Chains A and B, each alone.
Chain A
Amino acid sequence: MRVRVPHTLAFATGAVITGFFLAIAALSLVWTPYDPAAIAIVDRLQPPSWHHWLGTDQLGRDLVSMQMAGARNSVAVALVSVVVGFGVGLPLGLLAAARGGVIDELVMRANDVLFAFPALLLAILLTAVLGPGALAAVLAIGLFNIPVFARVTRASALGLWTQDFCLAARVCGKGPLRISIEHIAPNLIGVLGVQVTIQFSLGVVAEAGLSYVGLGVQPPQPSWGRMLEEAQTLTALKPSLAVYPGLAITLFVIGLNLLGQGLKQRRSR
């Protein structure tokens, strides 16, 4: 059974959670309680205290600072990959819908090929070429996002093209490019907004996954996925090391999904 959350509540909760993580990520750019990379073996594996709110890890790094910096890296990778997917996928989808025929077929079949490539495989490939790091992760997730945005754009745009206002615009002498920009794209904001939240949350999970297997953000930069990976050997000794980044990922994804759900319901009202 699906639990129905009133759209205002879903939207508000989602906005608060998402906003909180985005604020933390932004704050970490200018301030963290400690240097997230500063090692202090003496202070290792401390319990939460006034000095270290969440305690420290096996190398004595402050967990709050690592969470904050991790948020920054996770959000940055997911965000940039959404921008890549959106920025390439939207024009491709608009083009396919506006021109139809052979161009539509070419664009969409190329998308299918891209879509059929698992992001992980793509990441391994890119890492081999570019060397491991955030860039490879961004590109892998971003490439994965392109066909998603292209498909959603094309499907919705095709529906809009059948409407009389597009016919009216053509009678007014506007070409397909101009109609796509002036009429089609603005009417897609709602649908694409929902898709952005979905791809954003998938991006956060994908980044964590890639970092976990060592293909994403590289040490000493922390990220939620790397923190999980490092906590793995100490699960028995100090499970909270894995709990914090795990919770952060889960909460952020829930927040984004609620935001998307709220947006969707608001649109269909």
Chain B
Amino acid sequence: MSAAAAAPPLLAIDRLSVSIDGAPILDEVSLTLAAGEVLGLVGASGSGKSMLALAVLKLLPRRSRLQGSVRLVGVELTGLTDAELCRVRGRDVGMVFQEPMTALNPLMTVVNQVAETIRLHERVSARAARLRALEALERVGLGAVPGIERRHAHELSGGQRQRVAIALAIAAGPRLLIADEPTTALDVITQAEVLELLTDLVRSSGMGMILVTHDMGVVARTAERIAVMQGGRILEQADRAQLQALAAPYSRALLAAAQLEEGPPVRSAPIRHGGDAPATLLEVRDVVREYRRRSAWRRALPLRAVDRVSLTIRAGEAVGLVGASGSGKSSLVRMILGLDAPTSGEVRVGGASWSAARGPALRGLRRRVQAVFQDPYGSFDPEWTVERLVAEPFAVLDRAPRGTLRLERVAHALEQVGLSAADAARYPHEFSGGERQRIAIARALINEPDLIVFDEAVSALDVLVRARILALLSELQARRGLSFLFVTHDLGVVRRLTERLYVMHGGRIVEEGGTLDVFRRPQDAYTAALLAATPRIEDPGFGATPGAPPTVSAAEPR
């Protein structure tokens, strides 16, 4: 027992530097974490936050060099051999990753996987390990799942899988839990539940936790202390109570992105020319989309992905469509874009129906409706130059501009989105994620469409980049009088950019109304739950007494 008066902190990282092939990844990072404390590690992709989490356990890629010190309860970890580290990993430090499906072995029942982890670190019988594994599953709230002792990973939902991953991490009773974007792959309501579970576990067992995330709202809800990372360094640190005191521009942007209530929306008041009401541009009427499920055992059952949905967008209007994954919004988007035909019902653009349009009329509709998709990497043919990509919508024109005119149009479109005409000769892989989304927007703009559908178009972007893209979109919309449809699961985006909002759940529109009205007074229970679950920095946090973790001796026998 080494319960000295000045017990060492649970984790002390001192001037830790990591480089890979000579390129610095972490630059003299120093951090401490007390037992029972939750530290939020926030930063953009590439800021080094995940690498820091991995460096604690020396889970580094080959060819990397590590300097500095990492002490766990006073024990230096950087000098340990691989065999010694293997004992630390899992037993003293548990990890939870972003994607629970790939973290679990598809061939083993989840109970056996947890039991295996226990037996790796302790000499216990298979029976005892299994009992303890069931206990661990109960602790993460899976006790009530029927037949959990026989289930495999694919038989559980995403949230349940992440709970199993957490059970794996805590099964051996670690002192430190490292969670790397544990809720990024989950929908907001599940995210709130998993975060609450993590916080409860830390509070009740006196573990320390490092929560790595890009979402300031998640941190505000969970962590006592926050460290903001950028370019491999700790930019600044703050307690939860002093979040607003964070001063660096990057921290401010992260804060702004997680603010739902405060601050004026980026979106300016809708433009209304004269007194007459603007014409209806998009009309979705009683649309149903069914998919046939093939089954060898039962009669084929149609799966209704979209169930009698009606929706309108007027000219010059920005409208949001919000829903979790599986709500049917992607199926609806495909019908709005004219890529799939509705099983019944009708989608009209400017009065013309997709299903009735043929030949020139169909090409005319295609010109009027454009889209920007989620993945800035998959949206472009890697073999094509930017010029060819941006000019691709010319394919629907009867007389597509050629030669200099074509180049001018491409250059103009690129300049509108803040890129330069010289970028036309480059290839997509030469651009960052944010720049690629700008190229995608330029491609959507070039034919001067009436409606652009943004399908999770900023979800994959870092908050700072996202803020700039959102500002660009709001400016473009105001200037050009375009109609936008933002399809997203992110309420913050909708709050910033749209006047009206549709909430989709289980294939139906459960609520519609003015964006601000819906945010202030949600009528539907699902909308209310969605709003409540969305992490934001105004949150009081889960714990009863935030900022006062229970004091637990670091040397407490386990």
Contacts and interface: CB of A to CB of B under 8 A. Distances in A.
A168 B369 CA distance: 11
Nearest to B382: A187
A54 interface: no
Given A164-B373, A178-B395, A173 B381 contact: no
B378 interface: yes
18 contacts: A163-B378, A164-B373, A164-B375, A164-B379, A168-B371, A168-B440, A168-B443, A169-B381, A169-B392, A171-B366, A171-B369, A172-B366, A172-B370, A172-B392, A172-B393, A172-B396, A173-B395, A182-B381
B383 to A, nearest CB: 5
A220 interface: no
Contacts of B373: 164, 167-168
Contacts of B375: 164
B50 interface: no
Contacts of A163: 378
B337 interface: yes
Interface in B291-334: none
B269 interface: no
Contacts of B370: 171-172
A165 B381 contact: yes
Contact of A168 (B362, B379, B383, B396): B379
Contacts of A171: 337, 339, 366, 369-371
Interface in A156-170: 163-165, 167-170
B315 to A, nearest CB: 20
A42 B289 CA distance: 85
B500 interface: no
A169 B444 CA distance: 11
Contacts of B150: none
A218 B382 CA distance: 48
Chief secondary structure at chain B's binding surface: mixed
Interface of A: 163-165, 167-174, 178, 182-183, 186-187
B339 A187 contact: no
Contact of B392 (A164, A167, A168, A186): A168
Interface residues of B, number: 24
A168 B395 CA distance: 12
Contacts of A182: 381
B411 to A, nearest CB: 19
A188 to B, nearest CB: 10
B479 to A, nearest CB: 23
Most A CB contacts (10 A, CB to CB) among B363, B375, B381 go to B381
Given A167-B373, A168-B371, A168-B373, A173 B380 contact: no
B162 interface: no
A102 to B, nearest CB: 14
B163 interface: no
Contacts of B443: 168, 172
Contact of A172 (B362, B374, B382, B395): B395
A86 to B, nearest CB: 19
A183 B381 contact: yes
A165 B378 contact: yes
B368 to A, nearest CB: 11
A34 to B, nearest CB: 49
Interface in B374-410: 374-375, 378-383, 392-393, 395-396
B367 interface: yes
Contacts of A168: 371, 373, 379-380, 392, 440, 443
A167 B396 contact: no
Contacts of B369: 171
B361 to A, nearest CB: 12
Contact of B374 (A164, A165, A187): A164
Nearest to B375: A164
Nearest to B379: A164
Interface in B245-281: none
A178 B393 CA distance: 13
Interface in B343-378: 362-363, 366-367, 369-371, 373-375, 378
Contacts of B378: 163-165
Which interface residue of B362, B367, B378, B380 has the most chain A CB atoms within 10 A?
Answer: B378
A187 B381 contact: yes
A164 B392 CA distance: 14
A241 B104 CA distance: 60
Nearest to B369: A171
Contact of B395 (A165, A174, A186, A187): A174
Nearest to B334: A167
A183 B363 CA distance: 20
Given A164-B379, A168-B379, A173 B374 contact: no
Closest A-B pairs by Cβ, 9 of them: A173-B396, A173-B366, A164-B378, A164-B373, A164-B379, A172-B393, A163-B378, A165-B381, A171-B371
Contacts of B381: 165, 169, 182-183, 186-187
A105 to B, nearest CB: 13
Nearest to B338: A171
A100 to B, nearest CB: 13
Contacts of B392: 168-169, 172, 174
A172 B390 CA distance: 10
A209 B394 CA distance: 53
A88 to B, nearest CB: 24
A183 B395 CA distance: 13
A163 B376 CA distance: 11
Given A170-B337, A172-B392, 6 more contacts: A167-B339, A168-B392, A169-B381, A171-B337, A171-B370, A172-B396
Contacts of A167: 339, 371, 373
Contacts of B383: 186-187
